[in-house]
């Protein structure tokens, strides 16, 4: 059995549990995990298994906060405590993006900024995650250096939900781990072990599989409508399917605004690479160089038609359209430090709508799913040969083979001993 360390609500170590009836420990790559601890109702355990306290294993990085405590009394079998805990990742669901944030560049950097501004050091004082003494207990962990880019405007969305959307889009996982009394947020990507780690009937390490092909919920072209009314409403199209294979949907993106604050404009496009210039009797914001991710062929066609002086370049493995000396916003004056009514140009606004359309289409589409479980402790060992989020190969008895990601790992200690059950899912995200 594993040793379990118990921390109070201030993340201070208060004790340990080294004997329990059972423990279920479920970790998830793109979602929050959970645990269930079943221990004798001794005075020591009653003092440790308290709502708001945290459970940490000695050999794992998931830390769970106890949210439910049940005390069962039984004259025949004895009295027991059932403590249910949830991954500290759920703390991210306690916050929303309070105003408007604009992404144009590295996606990991944007997510870290979003988290820090919602409950970390950059958050308003009453939004920070602090202990009873007012000390900050939530921060940012290591940078993974993930290359994916993002062009998006986010307003009033739940932080946890947005992170899960990005994890689905980019194939990321995310975690919150404890280090030095502080909870640290990180995004990461599992290791590709396809071909070297194989689960199949031939190896006698595959317990069950479910393979599904489903075309009942399709949507591959989105008409996206931004702000405005009637004919003046800004519209664009995501997706390029045609004929019998075209399935149209509508995405209402009126919450994506062309009007932002000057502070947000400077944060996204710093003055170090831009300037305020006079133009047409007013003032505009001009950037020296801007790399716009090419989202599809129609987007590229629009860019080349409106800005023929641009060039196609590759930035961190992403195809972009590079423009120099580009006006991206209209300003209310020459010194708009407190301005709330900066209007961005279409060249910036359009990618936000296109991204929203592709996000909406992700809820639809042709689905090929390959899910299943494996026999533990056979050919490959957990945390030695594979880990949560890794890509492995699975092949069922009908010869259907796929590279799949380990999306969840459930470990159980009980009267029957120890078991580990990885679950996998077909890779649908890019990369």
pTM of the model: 0.88
Nearest to 88 by CA among 165, 187, 184: 184
311-316's contacts with Cβ under 8 Å and 24+ in sequence apart are 315/149, 315/291, 316/106, 316/147, 316/149
pLDDT of residue 410: 93
Q: Is the CB of residue 380 less than 8 Å from the CB of residue 205?
A: yes
Work out the average pLDDT over 257-285.
93
pLDDT at position 207: 81
According to the model, what pLDDT value does residue 43 have? Answer: 94
First to last CA, the chain: 37
pLDDT at 430 over 60: no
Region of residue 365 (left: phi > 0; alpha: psi -120 to 50; beta: else): left
pLDDT band at 431 (very low <50, low <70, confident <90, very high): very low
Q: Is pLDDT of 352 > 50?
A: yes
User: What is the pLDDT averaged over residues 8-34?
Assistant: 96
Rounded Cα gap, residues 220 and 25, in angstroms: 38
Q: Which long-range contacts (CB under 8 A, 24 or more apart) does 108-111 make?
A: 108/143, 108/144, 108/145, 108/146, 108/148, 108/187, 110/150, 110/152, 111/162, 111/163, 111/166, 111/187
Cα 195 to chain centroid distance, Å, stands at 27
Split at pLDDT 50, 70, 90, the class of 339 is confident
High-pLDDT (> 90) share of the chain, %:
75
On the 0-12 / 13-18 / 19+ scale of CB atoms within 10 A, 358 is: middle
Q: pLDDT of 324-337, one tens digit each? A: 999 999 999 998 88
Asked if 360 and 248 count as a contact pair (C-beta separation under 8 A), the reply is no
Q: How far is CA 325 from CA 30, 328, 332, 364, in A?
A: 40, 9, 20, 39
Evaluate if residue 376 carries a pLDDT over 80: no
pLDDT at 252 over 80: yes
What pLDDT sits at residue 1? 59
List the single range of 67-76, 80-89, 236-245, 349-358 with lowest mean pLDDT: 67-76
Please tell me the number of Cα atoms within 13 Å of 405 on its side-chain side. 20
User: b/e per residue, 197-208, with b = 16+ CB within 10 A?
Assistant: bbbbeeeebbee
The third-level CATH classification (topology) of the domain covering 95-188 is Phage tail protein beta-alpha-beta fold (3.55.50)
Q: What gap in Å lies between CA 172 and CA 70, rounded to an integer? A: 35
SS3 302: helix
* CA-wise closest residue to 9 among 54, 48, 46, 44: 54
What are the backbone angles phi and psi of residue 253, rounded to the nearest 5°?
Answer: -120, 40
Provide the mean pLDDT of the chain: 92
The stretch 164-189 carries a mean pLDDT of 96
pLDDT of residue 324: 97
Res. 428 pLDDT band, cuts 50 70 90: low
The band of 388, judged by pLDDT with boundaries at 50, 70 and 90, is very high
Average pLDDT over residues 109-130: 97
């Amino acid at each position: 059995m594993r040793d379990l360390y118990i921390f109070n609500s201030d993340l201070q170590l208060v004790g340990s549990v080294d004997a329990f009836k059972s423990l279920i420990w479920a970790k998830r790559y793109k979602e929050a995990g959970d645990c269930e601890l079943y221990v004798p109702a001794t005075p020591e355990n009653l003092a440790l298994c308290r709502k708001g306290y945290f459970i940490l294993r000695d050999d794992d990085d998931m830390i769970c906060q106890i949210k439910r405590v049940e005390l069962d009394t039984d004259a025949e079998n004895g009295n027991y405590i059932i403590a249910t805990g949830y991954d500290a990742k759920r703390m991210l669901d306690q916050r929303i993006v309070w105003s408007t944030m604009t992404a144009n560049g590295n996606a990991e950097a944007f997510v870290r900024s979003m988290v820090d501004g919602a409950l970390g050091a950059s958050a308003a004082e009453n939004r920070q995650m602090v202990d009873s003494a007012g000390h900050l207990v939530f921060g940012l962990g290591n940078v993974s250096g993930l290359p994916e880019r993002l062009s998006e405007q986010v307003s009033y969305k739940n932080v946890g939900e947005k992170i899960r959307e990005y994890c689905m889009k980019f194939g990321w996982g995310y975690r919150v781990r404890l280090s030095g009394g502080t909870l640290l947020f990180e995004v990461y990507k599992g290791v590709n072990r396809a071909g070297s780690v194989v689960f199949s009937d031939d190896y006698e390490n595959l317990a069950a599989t479910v393979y599904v092909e489903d075309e009942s919920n399709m949507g591959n072209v989105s008409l996206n409508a931004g702000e405005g009314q009637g004919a003046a409403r800004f519209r664009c199209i995501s997706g390029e399917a045609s004929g019998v294979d075209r399935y149209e949907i509508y995405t209402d993106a009126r919450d994506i605004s062309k009007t932002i604050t000057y502070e947000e404009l400077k944060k996204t496009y710093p003055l170090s690479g831009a300037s305020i210039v006079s133009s047409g009797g007013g003032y505009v914001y001009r950037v020296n160089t801007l790399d716009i991710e090419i989202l599809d062929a129609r987007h590229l066609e629009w860019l080349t038609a409106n800005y023929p002086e641009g060039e196609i370049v590759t930035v961190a493995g992403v195809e972009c359209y590079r423009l120099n000396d580009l006006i991206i916003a209209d300003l209310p004056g020459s010194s708009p430090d407190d301005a709330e009514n900066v209007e961005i140009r279409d060249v910036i606004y359009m990618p936000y709508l296109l991204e929203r359309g592709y996000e909406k289409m992700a809820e639809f589409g042709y689905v090929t799913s390959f899910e299943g479980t494996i026999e533990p402790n056979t050919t490959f060992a957990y945390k030695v040969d594979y880990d949560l989020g890794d890509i492995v190969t699975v092949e069922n008895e009908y010869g259907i083979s796929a590279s799949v990601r380990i999306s969840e790992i459930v470990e159980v200690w009980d009267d029957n001993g120890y078991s580990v059950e990885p679950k996998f899912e077909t890779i649908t995200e890019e990369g």
